[in-house]
C-alpha cells in the first residue's frame, strides 16, 4: 500500500471540521458537495473503524510518500 501524504488519522482542518460536526446543517451542506468530509474527519466512524487493531495489517507492505512542505497538500495533524 503506497500512501501519498495520507490522512491516516483523519483531519480536523485546523478545527473547521470539528465545528461542522457540531453544526449538523452546515456539515450536511458541506458533505453534500464534498462527501469525503464525513469519512475523513478525525474521530469519524470510518477513521475509528479503520484504525481498530492498529493501523497496519499482516502481510501488507506499506510505503508513505510525503515531504516537509506537504502542509499545502496534507495537514501535519493527520499523519
Return the pLDDT at 70.
65
pLDDT in tens, 20-69: 878 888 888 888 888 878 888 888 888 889 888 888 889 999 998 877 77
Cell (9 digits) for 17: 471540521
Distance CA 45, CA 48 (A): 5
pLDDT in tens, 31-44: 888 887 888 888 88
pLDDT band (50, 70, 90) for residue 72: low
Does the predicted TM-score (pTM) go above 0.85?
no
Domain coordinates in residue numbering, the chain: 2-78
Closest CA to 3 of 46, 60, 45, 58: 60
Amino acid at each position: 500500500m503506497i500512501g501519498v501524504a495520507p490522512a491516516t488519522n483523519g483531519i480536523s482542518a485546523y478545527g473547521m471540521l470539528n465545528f461542522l460536526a457540531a453544526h449538523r446543517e452546515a456539515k450536511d451542506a458541506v458533505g453534500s458537495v464534498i462527501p469525503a468530509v464525513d469519512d475523513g474527519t478525525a474521530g469519524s466512524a470510518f477513521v475509528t473503524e479503520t484504525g481498530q487493531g492498529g493501523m497496519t495489517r499482516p502481510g501488507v507492505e506499506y510505503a508513505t510518500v510525503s515531504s516537509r512542505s506537504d502542509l499545502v497538500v496534507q495537514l501535519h495533524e493527520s499523519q
